[in-house]
């Protein structure tokens, strides 16, 4: 087992023995020439079902990939190789009997260290979280659903302290770099998860998104990130940032995300604000991707190159996103270049976000507050100064924005924007060097508005810049149109837009 202060050790000998017993001591006849760590979750399950690959082989390959993650990337804060291999061996036995536990039995998964996972401390990137005397015996709802479906948990991924910003560095675990260039940021706050998926350290990862925290790192790292409609995936414990916070998948592609959504959207009584689960007659997320469902032909797509000028967009980003939009048109969508006509809600977002941060740290002693990320201390101080009337005024802005975009989506099925106006910048700082902004929201104006409105939004990799850094295109739909976002993203992957 490893944590943030240790190096990764090789799996223990007894775990190896358990794994060998499960494999019968022989290598499986894998029809794919690729390293199992490079396979999607969908493909892994197909191979398990065919008897062509053992979950033990797949998990071993992923653990070997974890060992090779460059130190500057720093994607994991905790890895338990022995436990992962035990879970893989149990999965292999279930597949041998023809009795898989569920849809992702044997698939390697990582979990952002904001979400509780039974048997491991949840430290949230903070030196203020007390470990002594605590029992770590509860799963978050999304983790519980994955466990029920037989997923194999590789470890916990890095996060900024309490997930407060759009890059991943913390006083506890240090800086998480980009897998394409560790000197650049992976983005955040689910930066460890996005970096892990990009490097083949598990095809599925659980992230959270309160202002872009799934989409930002997925865009910077060149993988798929999906923020579902608020409440579609139950969340517990409740986020300090309230109903801005969503839980969702970071994956290789849209098909893996649809598979993961089938699992993690299962109901959980601990989240009283969750959406109603799909009814008996409603198609699931994977069904939306199946051939014959219409793909994107006839969709009404609104293309907003800069969301009303919220920020200047780098030319290479603008060109890559435009190519993706042109591809949607070639696939049969009706595309119109138009802005939704809304103003940047950053001030209202700050009131809600900073207030949540202030409430989060309120129980801490003065000595504990000194241990916090200095930037987090700053926004907490600002948040503590807001009045209830200012908070309610921010909620009014939020409601008006939601109504405006609801009206907009009565005319357009999808809104397409750049995910971010820039590519990954230097690691270890909150804003790009030389920026006029002091907070991370200054360079993420296309992500946080859709946390205010609770709409589903995804980022699809659509190219790279001259330095080989990934660029993402963002797809946004009306609330509860999650399947439409996944279907469109899947069509883009099938058409080759996601190949850098």
Q: Give the catalytic positions in this structure.
A: 112, 189, 213
* HSE-up of residue 343 (Cα within 13 Å, Cβ side): 7
| DSSP code at position 173 | T
Q: CA-to-CA distance for 282 and 490, rounded, in angstroms?
A: 20
Q: Which residue has the tokens 């493909």?
A: 43
Helices 81-97 and 41-50, packing angle to 10 deg: 50
Q: Give every CB contact of residue 128 below 8 A, 6+ residues apart in sequence.
A: 361, 364, 368, 369, 371, 372
| Contact partners, residue 87, CB within 8 Å, separation at least 6 | 59, 152, 153
Quick check: 223 and 189 in contact, CB under 8 A?
Answer: no
Give the DSSP H/E element, type plus range, for residue 44.
helix 41-50
> What would the two tokens of residue 15 be?
């775990």
Can you tell me the distance from the alpha carbon of 29 to that of 39, in angstroms, rounded to the nearest whole number? 15
Residues 254 and 461 sit within 8 Å (Cβ to Cβ): no
As given in the structure block, the two tokens for residue 251 are: 């994956």
240 CB-near residues (< 8 Å, 6+ apart): 162, 356, 357, 359, 360
Alpha-carbon 262 to chain mean position: 16
Query: What is the CB neighbour count within 10 angstroms for residue 499?
Result: 10
Distances in Å between the alpha carbon of 347 and those of 22, 116, 228, 401, 441? 56, 31, 24, 13, 10
Separation between Cα atoms, residue 88 and residue 83, nearest integer Å: 9
Cis ω on the peptide bond leading into residue 189 (within 30° of 0)? yes
In sequence order, what are the beta bridge partners of 470?
464
**Torsion-angle region of 24 (φ positive above 0: left; ψ -120 to 50: alpha; else: beta):** left
B/e letters for 5-33, b = 16+ CB within 10 Å, e = fewer, are eeebeebeeebbebbeebbeeeebebeee
CA-based nearest residue to 111, from 124, 127, 130 = 124
* Distance of alpha carbon 146 from alpha carbon 233, whole angstroms: 12
Burial code of 102-112, b = ≥16 C-beta within 10 A, e = fewer? bbbbbbbbbbb
């Amino acid at each position: 087992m490893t944590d943030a202060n240790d190096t990764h050790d090789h799996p223990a000998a007894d775990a190896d023995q358990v794994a060998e017993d499960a494999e019968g001591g022989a290598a499986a006849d894998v029809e794919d020439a690729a390293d199992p760590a490079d396979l999607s979750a969908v493909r892994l399950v197909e191979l398990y079902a065919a008897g062509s690959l053992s979950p033990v082989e797949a998990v071993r390959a992923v653990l070997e990939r974890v060992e090779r993650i460059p130190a500057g990337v720093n994607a994991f804060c905790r890895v338990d190789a022995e436990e992962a291999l035990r879970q893989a061996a149990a999965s292999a036995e279930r597949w041998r009997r023809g009795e898989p536990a569920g849809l992702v039995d044997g698939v390697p998964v990582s979990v952002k260290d904001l979400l509780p996972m039974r048997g491991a401390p949840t430290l949230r990137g903070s030196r203020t979280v007390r470990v002594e005397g605590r029992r770590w015996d509860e799963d978050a709802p999304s983790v519980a659903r994955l466990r029920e479906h037989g997923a194999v948990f590789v470890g916990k991924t890095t996060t900024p302290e309490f997930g407060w910003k759009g890059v991943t560095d913390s006083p506890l675990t240090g800086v998480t770099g980009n897998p394409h260039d560790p000197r650049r940021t992976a983005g955040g706050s689910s930066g460890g998860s996005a970096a892990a998926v990009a490097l083949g350290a598990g095809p599925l990862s659980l992230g959270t998104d309160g202002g872009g925290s799934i989409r930002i790192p997925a865009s910077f790292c060149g993988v798929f990130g999906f923020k579902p409609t608020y409440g579609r995936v139950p969340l517990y414990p409740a986020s300090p940032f309230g109903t801005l916070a969503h839980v969702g998948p970071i994956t290789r592609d849209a098909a893996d995300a649809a598979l993961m959504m089938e699992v993690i959207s299962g109901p959980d009584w601990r989240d009283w604000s969750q959406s109603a689960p799909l009814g008996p007659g409603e198609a699931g997320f994977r069904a939306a991707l199946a051939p014959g469902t219409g793909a994107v032909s006839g969709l009404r797509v609104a293309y907003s190159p800069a969301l009303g000028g919220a920020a200047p967009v780098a030319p290479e980003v603008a060109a890559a996103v435009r190519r993706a939009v042109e591809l949607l048109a070639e696939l049969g969508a009706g595309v119109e270049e138009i802005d939704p006509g809304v103003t940047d809600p950053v001030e209202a977002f700050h009131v809600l976000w900073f207030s949540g941060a202030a409430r989060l740290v309120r129980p801490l002693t003065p000595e504990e507050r000194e241990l916090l990320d200095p930037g987090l201390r700053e926004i907490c101080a600002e948040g503590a100064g807001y009045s209830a009337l200012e908070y309610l005024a921010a909620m009014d802005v939020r409601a008006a924005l939601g109504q405006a975009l609801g009206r907009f989506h009565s005319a357009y099925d999808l809104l397409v924007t750049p995910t971010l106006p820039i590519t990954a910048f230097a690691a270890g700082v909150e804003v790009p060097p030389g920026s006029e902004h002091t907070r991370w929201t200054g360079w993420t104006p296309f992500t946080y508005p859709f946390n205010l409105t609770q709409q589903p939004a995804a980022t699809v990799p659509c190219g790279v810049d001259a330095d080989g850094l990934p660029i993402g295109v963002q797809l946004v739909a009306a609330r509860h149109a999650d399947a439409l976002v996944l279907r469109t993203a899947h069509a883009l992957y099938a058409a080759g837009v996601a190949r850098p």
